[in-house]
Amino acid sequence: MNLIFLAIVLIAFAVAAIRQVQWQAPAGDAEASSPMQDLALGMIDTAESSVTLALGLIGVMALFLGLMKVAEAGGLLRIFAKLLRPVMVRLFPDVPADHPAMGAIIMNMSANALGLGNAATPFGIRAMQELDTLNPHKGTATNAMALFLAINTSSVTLLPTGVIALRAAAGSSDPAGIVPTTLVATICSTTIAILSCKLLQGRFPARAAEPGESPSADSSQATAAPSSDKTEDKLDPPLPETTDEAYPGWISALVLLGVLAIVPLTVLYGKTIAPWIVPGLMVLLLGFGAAKGVRVYERFVEGARDGFQVAVRIIPYLVAILVAVGMFRQSGAMELLIGPLGAVTGLIGLPAEALPMALMRPLSGSGAYGILASIIQDPAIGPDSYAGYLVSTIQGSTETTFYVLAVYFGAVQVRRVRHALPCALMADLAGVAGAVAICLLLYGHLT
């Protein structure tokens, strides 16, 4: 992210400087601002608006994390894990069903599905550590490791709470409208992740890493960067216990079919269902917690406190990336880069204003989050336009692939990632394609 941030700033300054040298004040308009003046004013305005955005985000983030804390205390995460176990046992035939790695994998995926980033990250690292105990070639990713990482970067998502919160803070009239689109996009990306791993694992033979090879990731550096992303959260909370329990296979199959049945319902009635999601979540999650004997008020306040801390913690990151992106746009560099590419991608439903989001997402969670904020805050676009829905869906349905690879493989010093990276990138591409398709179908008429 250091190089990306610096490159954006330097390119923006260079383009503005060239324009400044070539600029001439319009005749009769002595007060006309020069390109460099526009750049300076844009930087100040963007810095102020980024803090305003973060302050507006505090309340919404506190609301959603409060609700999720109630659900977590009521055992919703464990219920999801029990439902997933029969499926995971078949997806990971190399991992014994009763091995600790299986429990950590299931809990990680359950936490990601529910938007519980603080729980997902430590479970993911624990899963990699346990998988490494089954690894005959230390330093080389096993088939199970590669598949777990690819699924983790795609991860079927039911509640993209962070993006919903950001949309609400941006003044969206339908902040939860991305729940159905995110579900469809993540089903697409997860399907591609699984298929590509199964097809490519034979083309990348496993062998031990050479002693002199440098690691592809440094876990001590990778885990040090905080962000709002679900896998870029700091590992502050203690690791919860995993579970070896499972529901009967037929129950898991029924639930899986139910999730798949949501897809056509989303296509047909997505816009009708979306307004019910936020109030429905409030009632259902608090009701679930109360039915499980949870002291819902105390747990809600505890989660809301965490939400407040998360929202405050991301202010410096929002300021940094939003100012850099604002400079890039104000200088004219964005138009020079995105114009030709956007003319091509616009033909397939990926407009020029959404293209930076698709390009940044695999590289940096905080960078993509900042670009998302700048797009939906732009009065010319807004959160409820087609582009607003599209970039929100891309943020909620794709992952910071290189960061995940660095953190998870770095935790066990894996040097040879084999097919993990291409499979994860194919899953990212499938997520973007799925997002474009479903957003075109539901919101393509919006401007």
* Residue-wise pLDDT tens digits, 330-343: 888 877 877 788 77
More confident residue, 169 or 438: 438
**Which among 412, 59, 443 has a CA at the least distance from the CA of 219?**
412
Residue 44's identity, in one-letter code, is: I
CA angle 378, 50, 313 (to 5 degrees): 140
**Which among 438, 437, 429, 434 has a CA at the least distance from the CA of 150?**
429
Number of domains present in the structure of the chain: 1
Residue 195 included in any domain:
yes
Residue 7 included in any domain:
no
Both tokens of residue 210?
């050479």
Helix (H, G, I), strand (E, B) or coil at 21: helix
Q: Which residues contact 274 (CB under 8 A, 6 or more apart)?
A: 174, 176, 177, 179, 180
Residue 26 included in any domain:
no
Residue 275 included in any domain:
yes
More confident residue, 16 or 64: 16
Query: What pLDDT is attached to residue 193?
Result: 92
Residue 4 included in any domain:
no
What does the radius of gyration of the chain's CA atoms come to, in whole angstroms?
Answer: 22
Q: Which residue's structure tokens are 């410096």? A: 316
What's the predicted TM-score (pTM) here? 0.66
Q: Which pLDDT band, with edges at 50, 70 and 90, does 191 fall under?
A: very high
- Please list the alpha-helical segments (H only) found in 235-348: 249-291, 296-313, 315-330, 333-345
Integer distance in angstroms from the first to the last C-alpha of the chain? Answer: 32
Q: Which residue's structure tokens are 């990680």? A: 108
Q: Which residue's structure tokens are 């496993």? A: 206
pLDDT tens-digit map of 23-70? 887 776 667 788 898 889 888 887 887 777 677 667 766 877 787 788
Residue 219 included in any domain:
yes
Residue 128 included in any domain:
yes
Q: Which pLDDT band, with edges at 50, 70 and 90, does 233 fall under?
A: very low
Domain span at 176: 35-443
Both tokens of residue 266?
């989303």
Distance between CA 336 and CA 338 in Å, rounded? 6
**Displacement of CA 188 from its chain's centroid (Å):** 15
Query: What pLDDT is attached to residue 28?
Result: 67
428 contacts 399 by C-beta, under 8 angstroms: yes
Question: CA–CA distance from 171 to each of 168, 197, 378, 382, 443 (Å)?
Answer: 5, 40, 11, 8, 18
Residue 16 included in any domain:
no
DSSP character at residue 74: T
